[in-house]
A and B are shown apart, each in its own frame.
Chain A
């Protein structure tokens, strides 16, 4: 597991050096969502019988941890592969493919959890009510792992930086709005509902919401997340075997 150790140590050094800029930049978009939808709409609107702010905080948590985990793996790894070639140092070294992938994905997931924690603190200050439990934390961590592994896969597949921007605008951004974050999929047509429930972000937003609001918890959420996690890791490892 030297590879995992090395990767985690490197990520730690980066994090330590940039902690303030990471903290500040990762708070911008969740804060905007909280102000616009939570503060602006939250007090006057109710959704499915709960105050809207309480409804969307788990959604914002899901999308922020998704964004943070995905981007903290995908962006630097694609740069390491395509531009400064630092990935080659790892490819040449006697570490296993798996230990490298594990280090990257774990580091990305931890970054996601850090952002998630910051968000919950801010949401609390905004007056949102939510219950935190072990299951809640586990689900959030699973979401981070899913999107960190997606970031790993995408970084190894794209051909250029514009490809990454395209992936963000065609996949990540639509998911932010459609993944059960700001509304319940139940309010849409059956076909769209089915599609929404298959998105990798939906189990996180719905599962986290039911736990935060103390509602009935559906096992569909972690099951689907685990399926995505295995799929992305398998595809990522396969891509890593082939990357040149």
Chain B
């Protein structure tokens, strides 16, 4: 279980993460969403001790997260937002290096590399230097690298940026199947349909603060499960309703065009993280 207890990170003036308290149970598929700069990456970096919190503490399965405590780290697989493969090593060498760092046996490393390259459709790139791969291929190598040591907790920071539709779906299928096998997953993404498709619980971050958590149904119910979308004076406006009947009554008085539909995660996101919405 991941427990964040009033975790705060301050960089000079900016408060990147503000008293974040959150529990993620083992086996959960948790989506951490929020606009650019909301603090998602900072949160993931604190979970891996890459960034040290200004205040508060984090435990993972009862172990305090700290750089001086390497023992919990082997349970974690990290896919960082920034591609940090060794550019002048080959794909296989990058994966091999990861295996050594995580104390894997030589034979296990070789088998795992073959298996993961096959999965990622990169078998023919085994001996290719990373700096000659396409952006999407690098991203795939980054993902399979995190899986080398079979982690119990997977932290994915925008893992599918730049992947084509097929690769993205493969990655979705993979992480979904890892999750059904009991692996805990924390995902950040700007693709809300991705979060909708995968996550069992969502946390919405805005300016470093966690403004909502819950299942997608929960979040929908909070803002209203029915939405009316209008386009007035060059702007799209959303109106949320608890009941279909209320929505129908509302639109009966409208002159301009509108759509009436079920609230999507994106609608919730837009409503809750809009600049003018006061989070207090």
Contacts and interface: CB of A to CB of B under 8 A. Distances in A.
Nearest to A95: B101
B82 A85 contact: yes
B98 A10 contact: no
A90 B48 CA distance: 11
Nearest to B82: A85
Given A92-B78, A93-B73, A6 B49 contact: no
A14 B101 contact: no
B50 A92 contact: yes
B168 to A, nearest CB: 23
B50 A88 contact: yes
Contacts of A244: 50-52
B48 A92 contact: yes
B127 to A, nearest CB: 12
Contact of B89 (A10, A85, A92): A10
B68 A241 contact: yes
A86 B84 contact: yes
A6 B101 contact: yes
Contacts of A227: none
A85 to B, nearest CB: 4
B71 A94 contact: yes
The interface centre, meaning the residue of B49, B70, B71, B78 with most chain A CB atoms within 10 A of its CB, is: B70
Contacts of B87: 84
Interface size band for B: 20 to 34
A217 interface: no
Contacts of B80: 85, 88
Given A2-B101, A13-B93, A95-B101, A241 B67 contact: yes
A10 B89 CA distance: 8
A91 interface: yes
A9 B67 CA distance: 23
B85 interface: yes
A217 B85 CA distance: 48
Contact of B84 (A6, A85, A96): A85
A160 B80 CA distance: 22
Given A6-B97, A13-B89, A88-B84, A96 B70 contact: yes
A94 B89 contact: no
A216 interface: no
Contact of B76 (A10, A86, A92): A92
A2 B50 contact: no
B59 to A, nearest CB: 17
Given A17-B88, A84-B84, A95 B50 contact: no
A241 B68 CA distance: 8
A13 B92 CA distance: 12
A96 B71 CA distance: 9
Nearest to B71: A94
A88 B73 CA distance: 13
Contacts of A27: none
Interface string A157-196: 0000000000000000000000000000000000000000
A97 B98 CA distance: 16
Contacts of B191: none
A85 B48 CA distance: 15
A48 interface: no
* Residue among B68, B71, B74, B84 with the highest chain A CB neighbour number at 10 A: B84
A97 B50 CA distance: 13
Contacts of B84: 84-86, 88-89
Contact of B97 (A9, A96, A242): A9
Interface of B: 48-52, 67-68, 70-71, 73-74, 76, 78, 80, 82, 84-89, 93, 97-98, 100-103
30 contacts: A2-B100, A2-B103, A6-B97, A9-B97, A10-B97, A13-B89, A84-B86, A85-B80, A85-B82, A85-B84, A88-B50, A89-B101, A90-B101, A91-B50, A91-B67, A92-B48, A92-B49, A92-B73, A92-B76, A92-B78, A93-B73, A94-B74, A94-B103, A95-B70, A96-B70, A97-B67, A97-B68, A241-B68, A244-B51, A244-B52
Q: 5 closest A-B pairs (Cβ-Cβ)?
A: A93-B101, A94-B73, A85-B84, A6-B100, A94-B70
Given A94-B102, A95-B70, 9 more contacts: A2-B102, A17-B88, A84-B84, A90-B101, A93-B98, A93-B101, A94-B73, A97-B67, A241-B67
